[in-house]
Copies of this chain bind each other. A is one copy, B any other.
């Protein structure tokens, strides 16, 4: 059976590292576009999406279970896991490049603990067989902290090697990855607000037209 996949989400004033190139309204629209791609992928992978949001949001797919908890990420996940008695996954809402294949690799791991690093030391996705035991330690060295914790528990561990799942979209240059590697809601949203790819001195960036 496929596990539920928790997607933590903050709908208001998200993606602050894009402030220099997007208004708050645009950042909120962009975060929603990424969320919709992640939700669709979770459903396509045969899993149940659980949206763990800091506040109610409109127009969410009826197949999504919504939990509103106005808490920090670690605190919200800690409150969630206490109610679980089976496995679950956690997938960040900004994995705009995620696809069914990479997500199924996580959801169908034979290990007791699956983890996908994010660039810069973060944790982009987790699978935990013994859900109620999970201890969320996001921010900073979270990949190493989660990995150390899983080793201490004696879990079998799979570190999933996926560019698509390891790419979280935080910085202006990360938009390059969206425009090159996807054609879904997130890329459509970027096109709609005028972002295009450009090459300068052999390197690729985005610009606004």
Contact = CB atoms under 8 A, between A and B. Distances in A.
A8 to B, nearest CB: 15
A121 B176 contact: yes
Contacts of A140: 199, 202-204
Copy number of this protein in the oligomer? 2
Interface of A: 99, 101-102, 116-117, 119-122, 139-141, 143-144, 161-167, 173, 176-177, 180-181, 197, 199, 202-204
A33 to B, nearest CB: 21
A14 to B, nearest CB: 15
B173 A120 contact: yes
A163 B102 CA distance: 11
Contacts of A204: 120-122, 140-141
Contacts of A101: 161
Contact of A143 (B99, B164, B180): B180
A144 B197 CA distance: 12
Given A141-B204, A166-B163, A180 B102 contact: no
A139 B180 CA distance: 15
Contact of A163 (B117, B173, B203): B117
B180 A121 contact: yes
28 contacts: A99-B161, A102-B161, A116-B163, A117-B163, A117-B181, A119-B119, A119-B167, A120-B203, A120-B204, A121-B176, A121-B180, A121-B197, A121-B199, A121-B204, A122-B204, A139-B202, A140-B202, A140-B203, A140-B204, A141-B180, A141-B197, A141-B199, A141-B204, A144-B180, A161-B162, A161-B164, A162-B162, A166-B166
